């Protein structure tokens, strides 16, 4: 039976994935909603926070851009630019403070040659095709009862799992660096700033834990399915 009709898949993978992902996303959204309404005591928008961190820390300045959406903030190492979502870029909130600092934590990782970032970056070329190849090989292997093709699909999926696992320490390290950058720049003015920044950085980090756990569950299911066949 193809795995998406397998009751075992629903019990072991689908239901836990939905519960874990939804729970962590709800936590992040509520945390963001709370601290996006609390002004930071420096009165700085995300864009201004970025400029101040470049001025007051050892970070080498790079481009800061505004991108559409909410929580779409990211560092693009290829273009060497940080893109901040419109609410973060333009609102002087505690959430804006934390999110901007987190992305600049990634900038610091890049500028200081983080080994984990380099290792994860080495997987990026393979991951351009891994998702498609993985599911095609797994599905074709099941339908045509070709174990070699099925295991090839598992191998491609394994690369995706490794990438997801490696992302977790990178994200928590970026959050740690973010807090340190904010302190160095004197932007954590009082306990409200500290508490809000820590809450935002922690919730954001656990979204990657949830992604890694669900990817591992999926991999374990495929391995169990291969042994069953």
Which of 205, 209, 193, 206 shows the shortest CA–CA distance to 95? 193
pLDDT band at residue 5 using 50, 70 and 90 as cut-offs:
low
What local confidence, expressed as pLDDT, does residue 124 receive? 84
Whether residue 3 has pLDDT greater than 60: no
For residues 27 and 188, give the distance between their C-alpha atoms in angstroms, rounded to a whole number.
23
Provide the strand spans (E) within the chain: 63-67, 74-76, 81-85
Contact present, 166 and 146 (Cβ < 8 Å): no
The stretch 156-169 carries a mean pLDDT of 94
Can you give the pLDDT at residue 156?
Answer: 93
Q: Is the CB of residue 174 less than 8 Å from the CB of residue 106?
A: yes
Q: Is residue 37 a contact partner of residue 53, using CB atoms and an 8 Å limit?
A: no
Task: Name the residue among 25, 20, 117 with its Cα closest to residue 71.
Answer: 25
Counting residues of the chain whose pLDDT is more than 90, the rounded percentage is 76
* pLDDT > 50? residue 1: no
Asked if 120 and 166 count as a contact pair (C-beta separation under 8 A), the reply is: yes
Question: Could you please report the per-residue DSSP string of 122-140?
Answer: HHHHHHTTHHHHHHHHHHH
Q: What is the mean pLDDT of residues 93-117?
A: 96
For range 113-120, the mean pLDDT? 90
Q: Can you give the residue ranges of every domain in the chain?
A: 3-39+94-228
Q: Describe the strand order of the beta sheet including 63-67 as a list of residue ranges.
A: 63-67, 81-85, 74-76
Each residue's pLDDT tens digit, 40-85: 999 999 999 999 999 999 999 999 999 999 999 999 999 999 999 9
> Per-residue pLDDT tens for 135-161?
899 888 887 878 889 999 999 999 999
Banded model confidence at residue 229, pLDDT cuts 50, 70, 90: low
| Helix, strand, or coil (residue 91) | coil
């Amino acid at each position: 039976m193809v795995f998406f009709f397998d009751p075992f898949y629903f019990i072991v993978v689908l239901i836990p994935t939905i519960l874990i992902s939804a729970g962590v996303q709800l936590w992040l959204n509520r945390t963001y909603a709370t601290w996006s309404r609390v002004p930071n005591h420096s009165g700085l928008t995300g864009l201004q926070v970025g400029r101040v961190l470049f001025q007051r820390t050892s970070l080498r300045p790079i481009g800061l851009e505004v991108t559409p959406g909410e929580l779409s903030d990211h560092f693009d190492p290829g273009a060497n630019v940080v893109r901040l979502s419109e609410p973060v870029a333009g609102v002087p909130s505690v959430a804006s403070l934390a999110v901007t600092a987190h992305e600049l934590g990634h900038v610091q990782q890049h500028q200081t040659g983080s080994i984990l970032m380099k290792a994860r970056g080495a997987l990026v070329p393979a991951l351009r095709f891994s998702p498609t190849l993985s599911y095609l090989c797994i599905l074709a292997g099941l339908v045509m009862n070709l174990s070699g093709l099925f295991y090839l699909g598992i191998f491609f999926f394994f690369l995706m799992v490794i990438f997801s696992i490696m992302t977790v320490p990178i994200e928590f390290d970026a959050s740690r660096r973010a807090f340190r950058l904010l302190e160095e720049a004197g932007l954590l003015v009082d306990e409200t700033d500290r508490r809000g920044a820590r809450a935002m950085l922690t919730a954001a980090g656990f979204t990657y834990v949830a992604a890694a756990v669900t990817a591992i569950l999926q991999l374990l299911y495929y391995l169990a399915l291969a042994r069953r066949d």
